[in-house]
Structure 1
Amino acid sequence: MELKDKIIVITGAASGIGKAMAIRFAAEGAKKVVCVDLNKEGAQAVANEIDGVAFGVNVGVEQEIADMIDAVENDIGPIDLFCSNAGILIAGGMEVPNEDWQRIWDINVMAHVWAARHLVPRMTERGGGYLLNTASAAGLLNQVGCAPYGVTKHAAVAVAEWLAMSHGDDGIKVSVLCPQAVRSEMTRGHEDSVAALDGLLEAEPVAEACLETIRNETFLVLPHPQVLEYMRKKTENYDRWIGGMRKLHRMYGDRRNPQGNVS
């Protein structure tokens, strides 16, 4: 898919990866970029920069996603590309309270489900569309010190896989973004976390990687290319891989440092 003259929605667009995608996709000649964020003022500031439109939305609430999709489709036009990018991080393990598990589940997983629920039937009816879901390298490799994050990002990858295999014949293209650490407010002060062992990327090259993936209509977006090799090592010898992760846990697990690769 080329983005020229397309209508694009990006959640988590007030900062980080979402902001970088909004600016980059607008530069490609998108017809309109819709900037969505819980921080409405931040989303509006980005929208003002690119002649876009802003919505204040809590993606952890299905009705707010549904209402935003309705408004865009009715007032702006049919959505060609929906970037379900917003996410949060909660550190800790099994001791994390139930309410925090539920909150991160709703934002990191169900927001993808709800966007697809309310958009895929419309896209299918008009012959196709594109979904770009932000997960994380943690969704492929897990995350030391952050069980809720690792678990929900695994689920986010599974949602994208299911959509791709179940709706590909309907003309729905799906990609999933799985970076390691990306510089953002979430990584500020945690630049030495385990997720940054392979380097801390700026948001702009991540957005560029997303653009290239959308253009080629491939599934995985890996701004840190070494993640692919880690995946191969994981599947080649699971026990050895877990042994390596235990070593990382001994080195980093007690720090409770956030991964910081969400927008």
Structure 2
Amino acid sequence: MPDTAVVTGAARGIGRAIATRLAREGWQVVVADLDADELAAVAAETGAPAVAGDTSTDAGVRHLVDTAYGHLGHLDVFFANAGIGTLQGLDASDAEWARALETNVLAHVRAARVLVPRWLEAGGGRLVVTASAAGLLTMLGDAPYSVSKHAAVAFAEWLSATYRHRGIVVQAICPQGVQTRMLDHSGALRDLLTRDDVVSADEVADAAWRALSGDAFYVLPHPEVSDYHAQRAAHPDAWLAGMNRLQQKLDTYTPDSPTDQPGHHQQQENA
């Protein structure tokens, strides 16, 4: 079992839960997030060095990786967990699209660019991407999130297909509804995201921990996602018709407050 890791988006939610679980298991961990204050609290709880900054940028991820190697000496696992949603459809601005793609996709590309050469030299390494069930299905009400999460899965697949014979393990965590701040502020989408059981961030961390003992590509805290994915592939028209029926229900949604309105929130999915 590996024993060193970096966790991005670690200030709250899924990232915080993963970092806490790893620390409890005796791992050496470096935590990263944009939110320096909340990250400091996680660092204090776990004893993990904290790197505050934007790890979606090339400079940010290089600084994080260099800092992690400086603290840990080697790096076994990189949890690319940070992500954002927009709750926007066609009305999403170019800036919102760019931010979603930078954070949800290109951050993973930039991390792999830096890490894979080091891991090849060391004989192996593991990249674990928080991709969301939206990356296998879709996310009604959030076009940038849905598209970027599909791209995150596609990149992870490419990376695994290209490097797995050389010791690089790639895994994609794809949960549905997780009890985080993002779910609390999802407005009309909350009913859709809670059609199946909502799991806690700790339960997602448990699934991630179990996945570290193997090399299965998909990590599914909601096992039913596997069936949905199979139905989507086998019967795409029927699946799209079903999703459209759900969209029609969303079209009739009346927000209870201004904070329920789509587009009011843009935040890290691990919030």
TM-score by length of 2: 0.91
The secondary structure found in structure 2 opposite 1:182 is coil
2:141 to 122, 139, 145: 145
Unpaired runs of 5+ in structure 1? none
Distance 1:121 1:186, change over 3 A: same
Instruction: Tell me, yes or no, if structure 1 residue 55 matches structure 2 residue 55.
Output: no
| Match of residue 257 from structure 2 | none
Find the counterpart in structure 1 of residue 7 from structure 2: 10
Amino acid at match of 1:12: G
Paired amino acid for 1:92: Q
| Structure 1 CA distance for aligned equivalents of residues 78 and 59 of structure 2 | 17
Counterpart of 1:176 in structure 2 is 172
Q: Which residue of 1 aligns with 2:269?
A: 262
CA contact (8 A) 1:136 1:153 kept: yes
Residue 36, structure 1, aligned to residue 43, structure 2: no
Residue type of the partner of 2:241? G
1:159 aligns with 2:155: yes
Aligned to 2:207: 209
Match of 1:45 in 2: 41
Task: Note the aligned Cα RMSD (angstroms).
Answer: 1.8
Aligned match of 1:21 = 18
Q: Secondary structure at the match of 2:84?
A: coil
Q: Aligned pair in 2 of structure 1 residues 38, 259: CA closer, same or farther (>3 Å)?
A: closer
Aligned AA for 2:56?
G
Give the Cα separation in 1 of the matches to 2:228 and 2:134: 11
Match of 1:198 among 196, 199, 218: 196
Q: Distance in 1 between matches of 2:177 and 2:156?
A: 21
Report Cα offsets for 1:167-204 as digits up to 9, x if no partner: 11120001101000111111225483311211221101
Structure 2 partner of 1:136: 132
1:237 to 228, 235, 238: 235
C-alpha change, 1:259 and 1:181, in structure 2 (3 Å) is farther
Structure 2: how far apart are the matches of 1:60 and 1:193? 30
Match among 208, 218, 221 for residue 219 of structure 2:
221
- Give the Cα–Cα distance (whole angstroms) in 1 for the partners of residues 36 and 156 of structure 2: 27
Aligned pairs for 1:240-255 (under 5 A) are: 240-253=238-251
- Aligned partner of 2:142: which letter? C
Matched with 2:258 is none
> Which range moved further: 39-48 or 109-118?
39-48
Identity of aligned residues (%): 39
Post-superposition offset of 1:106: 0.1
Quick one: which amino acid aligns to residue 213 of structure 1? Answer: A
Which letter does structure 2 place at the counterpart of 1:24? R
Question: Alpha-carbon deviations, 1:23-60, whole Å to 9, x = none?
Answer: 11112221x11110001221121111111110102123
Contact persistence 1:181–1:260 (CA under 8 A): no
Contact 1:193 1:252 in 2 (8 A): no
Alpha-carbon distance in structure 2 between the residues aligned to 1:81 and 1:107 = 19
Letter in structure 2 aligned against 1:221: V
Residues 226 and 92 from structure 1, CA distance in 2 versus in 1: closer, same or farther, beyond 3 angstroms?
same
Q: Is the 8 A contact 1:13 1:37 kept in 2?
A: yes
Partner of 1:115: 111
Instruction: Compute the TM-score of the two structures, normalised by the length of structure 1.
Output: 0.93
SS class of match (1:18): helix
SS at match of 1:141: coil
Q: Which runs of 5+ in 2 are unaligned?
A: 254-261
